Structure 1
Amino acid sequence: MNTATAQQHFQQWLADINHACGEFDGAALGDAFSGEIRPRQLGALRFSHVSSSHARLLRTPREVQRSSEHKYFAVFQLKGMANMAQDDAREVLMPGDILLIDSARPSDFTFGDASQQISLILPHDRVDQLLRFTPVEIGRKIPAGSPVALLAQQMLLSSTQLDEVSLAESEAVIDALISLMRPALCGSDSNPDPHERIFRKSLALIETHIADEALCPEMIARDIGVSMRGLYRVFAKKGLVIAQYIKNRRLDICAETLRNPQSTLKLSALGYTWGFSNSSYFTTAFKQRFGVSPGEYRKRYS
């Protein structure tokens, strides 16, 4: 393949990458470039098989700014080698290794000869929620052969071979993968700073009392022993408003209940069960978050 043909092939591959994964720039590294991407969606599972030789992908601040969706890429290296860098972290991926990349930060990927990966998109808000907003170590390799890498890759590969999966089942796979990788993705939290300690205590209190109608920021501040201003500041550092977080957490639990075919809870009682004192307000809030009423949402999964 001559240089002109390699560049033309690369530009098509880059366009396909951008369509499936978001904005990237890059270059072919010589005439030996080859590349292919096969995107697929199974319910909530969005992933791509990425094959490449002698290529570089860049996500500069310009590409980050152009992308509206904040997400993580869980990169599962299947064959060959790839060099990946984000922030100060730099890793060489070999078959079986896994790496998490944040789409909101610049990154730099270089693919060696016959590199093959699966790039799985993980919703940013779901990762934060399941990891309880524990700081995630971006760009840190989960090495092949570790129990986490072996189990996670086996689960992902089994899922990608399915012909069909329901939305609820695919969401359960995503949650299971995130939870499985949690020990490797989260840094040591043996001595968190005071703000982090307050934040985690608040989340634990919210989970314990999520069904209690009396749960509110004032109650949390009182029980933890912090001022209201201090509590708001702690959540603001995470880009959150505490009252909104409580409401969204309740709505997410209601949605999980509606997706469960075994649930027999009536719609009229659902909001009251999870701390909403007004059924009309619950219906309005649910529709604002999920785009449909609770009844219509349940029908999707029946």
Structure 2
Amino acid sequence: MVCASEKDQYQQWLAQINQVCGSFAGRPLTGEFFGELESTWTGNLKLSTVTASGVNLFRTRQEIKTSNDAWFYTVFQIEGEAGLEQDDRQIVLNSGDITLIDASRPCSIYWPEKSRQISLLLPRQILEQHFRFQEVSCAQKLSRTLPTVQLSYRLLQESMSNPALSETESEAALEAMVCLLRPVLQQRDSMQPRKERQFTQVLTLIDDHIQAEHLRPEWIASESGMSVRSLYRMFAEKGLVVAQYIKNRRLDLCAQMLRGTRDDEKLAGIGYSWGFTDHSHFSTAFKQRFGISPGEYRKRHR
């Protein structure tokens, strides 16, 4: 039973969680409640330190609808234990362990006793680029004994101790974090199922012809020996739309090119070289994906 003063503290803490970390519902567990939250921004690094006990936070489809789901939560367990659930997985994190939680799918976190963890937001687009839409293993316990986990902790500590990191430096730190964790997060089979191999081949075909005007679903389906309907279904099973994937892939390549171009190189020409014939459309699409205009992006990544 939560007393009146504890109930007020709980409600204030839950409101703070919703403001900083996204929409979560909660319920008290047996035992004394305790809740603290600290959040910090370091360039593009958004970190939330949660210390809690006697409480369960969870996200259902209802909370997901009212929140930004363009993230993964990288959870670093600092002290104590915490239980996490997503999909059909249930794990217990001990001090020094790491896991990944997808903000777009229901999840649940339990703090039966006092523990502390840091959540680092990883933008979905970074994982998409590195994993190429292959399955990312969420709610998987990454043990503190793994060298990649130990290196990830060191990277986190170094980043947190350098609040003056620029946006470019902090973005590089996010990329490095994904590269470190990718080998243990990516689900691998000794033999990929036929459907997965076919999907990988389609992505390779798109990359090989990414600058071509004829890169459309009908052409891709024909070259891949399938119907257009089957192609759409293949992408839909990954939560993707073919045309949107092609556009985002072209935008990612434009961004890569912008990071290495001179100021006198025309932005319209860069967009055109990757299939954007209308500069206004290119600029709008780029801002929707990266949050800033192509010109501002190039300035930040000089």
Classify the secondary structure of the residue corresponding to 1:96: coil
Letter in 1 for 2:254: C
Query: Cα deviation per residue 1:138-196 (whole Å; 9 max; x = unaligned)?
Result: 21111111122111121122112211222222222222212221222222233333332
Could you tell me which residue of structure 1 aligns to residue 101 of structure 2? Answer: 101
Classify the secondary structure of the residue corresponding to 1:109: strand
Q: Distance in 1 between matches of 2:101 and 2:153?
A: 16
Of 84-93 and 51-60, deviating more is 51-60
Letter in 1 for 2:38: R
Could you tell me which residue of structure 1 aligns to residue 241 of structure 2? Answer: 241
Q: CA RMSD in A?
A: 2.7
Letter in 1 for 2:217: P
Gaps of 5+ in 2: none
* TM-score normalised according to structure 2 size: 0.87
Task: Among all aligned residue pairs of Structure 1 and Structure 2, give the percentage whose two residues are the same amino acid.
Answer: 46
Letter in 1 for 2:40: R
Q: Do structure 1's residue 188 and structure 2's residue 188 form an aligned pair?
A: yes
Query: Cα deviation per residue 1:80-106 (whole Å; 9 max; x = unaligned)?
Result: 111112222111110111111122222
Could you tell me which residue of structure 2 aligns to residue 118 of structure 1? Answer: 118
Could you tell me which residue of structure 2 aligns to residue 62 of structure 1? Answer: 62
Q: How many residues align?
A: 301
Could you tell me which residue of structure 2 aligns to residue 227 of structure 1? Answer: 227
1:13-52 to structure 2, matched below 5 A, reads: 13-30=13-30, 32-52=32-52
Could you tell me which residue of structure 1 aligns to residue 10 of structure 2? Answer: 10
* Contact persistence 1:131–1:179 (CA under 8 A): no
Query: Cα deviation per residue 1:96-141 (whole Å; 9 max; x = unaligned)?
Result: 1111112222222221433111111122333233211111222111
Classify the secondary structure of the residue corresponding to 1:19: helix
1:124-139 to structure 2, matched below 5 A, reads: 124-139=124-139
Query: Cα deviation per residue 1:49-80 (whole Å; 9 max; x = unaligned)?
Result: 11112322222343233324342211100111
* TM-score normalised according to structure 1 size: 0.87
Letter in 2 for 1:47: L
Could you tell me which residue of structure 2 aligns to residue 294 of structure 1? Answer: 294
Q: Distance in 2 between matches of 1:280 and 1:112?
A: 53
Q: Distance in 2 between matches of 1:166 and 1:286?
A: 21
Of 36-45 and 58-67, deviating more is 58-67
Letter in 2 for 1:258: L
Classify the secondary structure of the residue corresponding to 1:195: helix
Q: Distance in 1 between matches of 2:280 and 2:29?
A: 59
Gaps of 5+ in 1: none
Letter in 1 for 2:267: L
1:210-225 to structure 2, matched below 5 A, reads: 210-225=210-225
Q: Distance in 1 between matches of 2:148 and 2:254?
A: 31
* CA 1:45–1:247: 2 relative to 1, 3 Å: same
Could you tell me which residue of structure 2 aligns to residue 152 of structure 1? Answer: 152
Letter in 2 for 1:46: K
